[in-house]
Amino acid sequence: MTKSGCSTVLRFHTFTSDVETQFKWIIAVRRVSFTVSPHAQVCSSYFKKEDFQKSGSETGWRLLKKGAVPALSDCRAST
């Protein structure tokens, strides 16, 4: 973690299969004429701290909460 509370480790999250939430993600990451593919991903820096579930695993992987939508977080704005 950095002083700002942002993780120094970036993760990449695949697009949700829910079409309505996919549309929100596309708008949030500012992609025009974007088609979601099985390989399309969004960097963890686009999500707020509260968008993640608390990790119960030993690996520390952070899973997104259902319905989480990317937003340009403080981490993203400061890089």
pLDDT digits (tens, 9 = 90+) for 12-68: 999 988 999 999 998 888 887 888 899 999 988 888 889 988 776 666 677 899 999
If phi > 0 it is left, if psi is from -120 to 50 it is alpha, else beta; for residue 67 that is: left
Q: Which residues of 19-43 are buried (b: 16+ CB within 10 A; e: fewer)?
A: eeeeeebbeebeeeeeebeeebebe
**How much is the pLDDT for 1?**
46
Give, as one character, the DSSP assignment of residue 17: S
Prediction pTM value: 0.69
